[in-house]
């Protein structure tokens, strides 16, 4: 009697566990199916969007003047409703720009709603449910490798693409290109990191090399913070050694690193930073603004997203510079960083492909980029604006673009890249580790194998 009950209970429990296991798979499978079905529908709609075969470049102004060219027949009879995702603090600027766009086409019925959505979440939200996502959305370039191959974004019309290619910085064009086709609109060219410093504590000359920074830190007993334990910043070590990265055909990470050079560079980092107690690899996203404010730190590495917080913290002492140089084999070498771009994409599921593309094109055009540069301090991606006086006179933006000269674009990265790179970075600056060349070489091997493991 009891034996039977036990057996039944056992079978029930076992089947429960199996069901759980399968349910997990089912969830995953479900989301892949949706994404691929999303991809299926957009082939049709994208061909609707990009039917102009002649690739004569159309400028934003030309487009605004000619409603038929810009919008085809959309909005003539029925009202077009578009949703745009923009970061919360840029909401007003984007809404004003969208209103301006609508006003350019007085005979069309268009309604645009701008909704707050952080750029870091946008891609994930689009992939989770493309139908509920915005028609036009901003995202950071590191998300591109997920969005492009699965056709979450609609390829750009050829006539717009020609203008994008002609106007933007070449690296910004690279990050919106997939399989030789332009698939999105470059929005900013400033998504990278550089040095923020307190200019009352360290001079513009001293901030130029890591050796002099650490010297000043030691003299003044203040910190220099760089989060080398995070792969995003930790990759500075292999990149400074001339490394690059790409994805192979199957989507696995490929690293073009020269082991001897990376180890030598890492040794240089270890020599300057590991033994110095004023170097901190704390999370700059959390502590940098606070520590600068309290005078505990004199400089630190972070990106444009921290600008307003650090500006508020330092006031008149606020200053920025490109990453410092580091002495490797006796020569001052520029630190090379990873550099991202922000991109505006058009959702493949949009019901108004022409209007959405025209809007994205307008939002990333010269006028809108200038406006955002002036009102929000966002760095432009259009070459002409990058060379403008506004950029040169802005300490933050000029540092961004100076660093961009020594950078590798943030594309072609697999998920496996980040943690091992961060682990290698934190190994190098930790005094208690074996920091001889052999020790570092061992850490390098483990990073390399973990990243490229299939």
Partner 1 sequence: MIKSYKTRRMVGMGVVYAILTILSIIWVLPLVWIVMTSFSGEDAAFIDHVIPTKWTFHNYVQLFTDTKIFNYPRAFMNTLIIAIFSCIISTLSVLMVAYTFSRLRFKARKAYMNVAMILGMFPGFMTMIAIYYILKTIGLSQSIVGLIVVYSAGASLGFFISKGFFDTVPKALDEAATIDGATKNQIFWQIILPMAKPIVVYTVITSFISPWTDFIMARMLLRDAIDQYTVALVLWNMTDKEKVDQFFYRFCAGSVIVAIPITAVFLKMQKFYVEGITGGAVKG
Candidates 172, 178, 214, 207; CA nearest to 192 is 172
Residue bearing tokens 């086409």: 105
Contact between 133 and partner 1 (CB under 8 A)? Answer: yes
Site mask, partner 1, residues 170-209, x = CB under 8 A?
----------------------------------------
State the Cα–Cα distance between residues 216 and 198, nearest whole angstrom.
12
Candidates 336, 343, 341; CA nearest to 402 is 336
Residue bearing tokens 């159309």: 58
State the Cα–Cα distance between residues 454 and 451, nearest whole angstrom.
9
Please check whether residue 165 is in contact with residue 182, taking contact to mean a CB–CB distance below 8 angstroms: yes
Q: Which residue's CB is nearer to partner 1, number 29 or number 149?
A: 29
Question: Of residues 18, 21, 132, 204, which one binds partner 1 by CB under 8 A?
Answer: 132
Please give the backbone phi and psi of residue 334, each rounded to the nearest 5 degrees, phi first. Answer: -70, 135
CB of 296 to partner 1, least distance (A): 8
CB of 218 to partner 1, least distance (A): 20
CB of 67 to partner 1, least distance (A): 29
Contact between 31 and partner 1 (CB under 8 A)? Answer: yes
Q: Which residue's CB is nearer to partner 1, number 176 or number 287?
A: 287
Cα 3 versus chain centre, distance: 60
Please check whether residue 371 is in contact with residue 196, taking contact to mean a CB–CB distance below 8 angstroms: no
Contact between 95 and partner 1 (CB under 8 A)? Answer: no
Question: Of residues 291, 347, 348, 381, which one binds partner 1 by CB under 8 A?
Answer: 291
Contact between 78 and partner 1 (CB under 8 A)? Answer: no
Please check whether residue 197 is in contact with residue 220, taking contact to mean a CB–CB distance below 8 angstroms: no
Contact between 10 and partner 1 (CB under 8 A)? Answer: no
> Of the ranges 112-120, 236-244, 270-278, 358-366, which one interacts with partner 1 (CB under 8 A)?
112-120
Site mask, partner 1, residues 320-359, x = CB under 8 A?
----------------------------------------
CB of 182 to partner 1, least distance (A): 26
Please check whether residue 87 is in contact with residue 116, taking contact to mean a CB–CB distance below 8 angstroms: yes
Q: Which residue's CB is nearer to partner 1, number 133 or number 274?
A: 133
Contact between 451 and partner 1 (CB under 8 A)? Answer: no
DSSP type of residue 416: G
Contact between 134 and partner 1 (CB under 8 A)? Answer: yes
Contact between 226 and partner 1 (CB under 8 A)? Answer: no
Contact between 305 and partner 1 (CB under 8 A)? Answer: yes
Residue bearing tokens 């509920």: 132
Any alpha helices (H) in 104-157, and if so which ranges? 119-128, 144-147
Please give the backbone phi and psi of residue 344, each rounded to the nearest 5 degrees, phi first. Answer: -105, 130
Q: 3-class DSSP state for residue 132?
A: coil
Contact between 286 and partner 1 (CB under 8 A)? Answer: yes
Residues in Cβ contact with 93 at an 8 Å cutoff, skipping those fewer than 6 apart: 86, 371, 372, 375, 376
Please give the residue ranges that form the binding site for partner 1 (CB under 8 A).
12, 16, 20, 23-24, 27, 30-31, 83, 85, 87-89, 115-118, 120, 125, 128-129, 131-134, 285-287, 289-291, 293-294, 305-306, 308-309, 312-313
């Amino acid at each position: 009697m009891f034996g039977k009950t036990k057996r039944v209970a056992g079978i029930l429990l076992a089947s429960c566990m199996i069901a759980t296991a399968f349910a997990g798979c089912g969830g995953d499978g479900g989301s892949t199916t949706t994404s691929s079905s999303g991809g299926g529908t957009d082939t049709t709609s994208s061909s609707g969007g990009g039917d102009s075969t002649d690739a004569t470049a159309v400028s934003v102004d030309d487009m605004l003047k000619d409603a038929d060219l810009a919008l085809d027949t959309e909005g003539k009879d029925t009202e077009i409703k578009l949703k745009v995702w923009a970061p919360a603090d840029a909401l007003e600027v984007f809404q004003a720009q969208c209103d301006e766009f609508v006003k350019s086409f007085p005979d069309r019925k268009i309604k645009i709603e701008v909704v707050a959505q952080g750029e870091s979440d946008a891609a994930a939200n689009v992939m989770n449910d493309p139908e509920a996502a915005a028609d036009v959305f901003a995202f950071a370039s590191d998300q591109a490798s997920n969005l492009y191959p699965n056709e979450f974004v609609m390829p750009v019309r050829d006539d717009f693409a020609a203008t994008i290619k002609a106007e933007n910085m070449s690296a910004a064009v690279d990050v919106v290109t997939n399989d030789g086709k332009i698939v999105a609109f470059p929005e900013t060219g400033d998504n990278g990191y550089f040095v923020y410093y307190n200019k009352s504590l360290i001079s513009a000359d001293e901030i130029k090399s890591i050796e002099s920074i650490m010297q000043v830190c030691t003299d003044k007993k203040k910190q220099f913070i760089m989060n080398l334990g995070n792969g995003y910043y930790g990759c500075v070590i292999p990149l400074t050694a001339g490394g690059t990265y790409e994805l192979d055909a199957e989507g696995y990470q490929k690293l073009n690193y020269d082991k001897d050079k990376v180890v030598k560079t890492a040794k240089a980092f270890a020599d300057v930073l590991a033994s110095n107690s004023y170097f901190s690899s704390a999370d700059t996203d959390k502590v940098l603004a606070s520590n600068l404010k309290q005078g505990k730190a004199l400089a630190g590495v972070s990106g444009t997203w921290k600008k307003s917080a650090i500006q508020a913290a330092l006031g008149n002492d606020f200053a920025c510079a490109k990453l410092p140089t580091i002495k490797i084999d006796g020569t001052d070498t520029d630190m090379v960083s990873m550099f991202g771009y922000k991109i505006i994409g058009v959702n493949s599921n949009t019901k108004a492909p022409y209007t959405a593309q025209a809007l994205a094109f307008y939002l990333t055009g010269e006028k809108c980029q200038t406006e955002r540069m002036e009102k929000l301090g966002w760095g432009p991606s259009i070459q002409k604006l990058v060379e403008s006086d506004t950029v040169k006179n802005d300490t933050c933006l000029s540092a961004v673009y100076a660093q961009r000269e020594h950078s590798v674009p943030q594309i072609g990265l697999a998920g496996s890249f980040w943690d091992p790179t961060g682990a290698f970075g934190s190994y190098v600056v930790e005094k208690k580790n074996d920091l001889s060349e052999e020790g570092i070489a061992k850490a390098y091997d483990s990073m390399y194998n973990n990243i490229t493991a299939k």
